[in-house]
Structure 1
Amino acid sequence: MKSLFPLILLFSLNLHAANDLEQVARVQALVERREAVLNGPNCWNAALYSRGLVEGVRHVDGPEFTAWLSSPLCTEVPEDQATSGDVVALRRVTREGKLVKGPYGAEIHGYLLGSDGWGFTKNGTNRKDSYHFEESASIIRLYQTSNLKECRMLGIPKEACHLKAQYFRCDPAALSWDDSLTALVSKLSTLEQRLHAFYFDETRTSEERSAFKQAMSLEIRGLRNEFTLVGEKAPAWQLELIDGRLASAAVFLF
């Protein structure tokens, strides 16, 4: 693991945010973390967690990733202005550059941009997929190839199969939940903490894992019901974030 320290140091250069040290600590913690027991934690979680936007190692689904990057916390920057610490989103776009809509979605991959052409990535949801540093150009090439194959398999037309890298500068410190959402967000954060622990708990039997999933499913359903009562009192982007987080929580429970 010592051989990774120079890369971590390299990655930390030129960070622009006030919480640089916390971000580097999060990246280092992921690199040194033991393998999860279960599949689930993925690239979008690695990027958002490293940037300080989400707490805990868990599964993040495409719509949640989109919601974070579309929120006022993140601002898209041109590629030539992107710098270490920015979130990179590899997205499927139409010929006109618009995000692809539909059942397959636009989000393909996400990673954290480092300095000198490096990126910090986790390429997959499998528990064996590592958190690692890789040249940004190599990451993009990998997903350009897999995107073309996936489009052919799914029968997606060529005009909706372009892969575009978009760069976002995010400030997690700017997040302040609407008063109407604070109680719900607190419950959701607690649920996500339990999911984090679940992914790394080696002591549970298969029966205990099944029981946990059933209990969590009921809890998520309850939070969904509570969410519907909020209505449109809160800002739309915050409602989209909660909707995305609830969807992410449910994905690997079935």
Structure 2
Amino acid sequence: MAYILPNLSPILLQSKEKSSAIVFHQPCSPPLISPSSVSISSVNAQTKLEPPPPRGLAQVNRTPGAQDKKQNEKDEFFVNLGLAVRTLREELPSIFAKDLNYDIYRDDITFVDPLNTFTGIENYKLIFWALRFHGRILFRDISLDVLRIWQPSENMILIRWNLRGVPRVPWEAKGQFQGTSRYKLDRNGKIYEHKVDNLAFNFPQKLKPAASVLDMVATCPASPNPTFLWGPVDVHSSSWVEFYMAVKDTLDRQGSMIAQDCLATCSW
């Protein structure tokens, strides 16, 4: 025994040194993390990071600005402008057969010819009613042809037309004359003024119209440009003069009736 212990001591010491060396040189392992702690921390991290709102939703909830409003008004103007041009082109040739579509006009529309001015949509409707009514009485055949439509500016429509008719009286030959209708539009594309001017006449040589709205423009050819001047002529009765005066008298009587109604209402 005394022999064995001294001989074993170096071995035990050597083994202890090796174990201690192994333990000392063993790399440090990372701390253990429980699955529950990992899931809780990841959930908390996800709840803190809010995703950005969808792009489409942001566009829907965006309040339109002044630029969008201006663009919408411009789009509405061009839509109404196109409707006005299409309506005038399609309906003017049939004004002596059927009524027009008045949706393209404002309620306070003003009609102007070289001698008269009428205001209001009701008077404007009455003008075309009188044209149809007296046109059928005084003429066997009467029609209007649209020769040209163009825009000298964004808010104006110009139409060059030709009116021709065959009077019912046997001693009058058929005649025709041209004119220009100027339609002014507001910023919404609605017509607020209709002006007739630039009249040029082509009547038979033996028949001259009276000195009225049908005054002949001497030595001036038909043109779409407003270059005609009015000049005096000899006074002769014709169906064209009667036609114009009949339409004007209808509007004048309507105006006097409205004035009388207004006075009767005010007196009460």
TM-score band by shorter chain is under 0.3
Provide TM-score, normalisation by structure 1.
0.23
Q: Which has the higher helix share?
A: 1
Higher relative contact order (CA 8 A, sep 6+): 1
Q: Which has the higher strand share?
A: 2
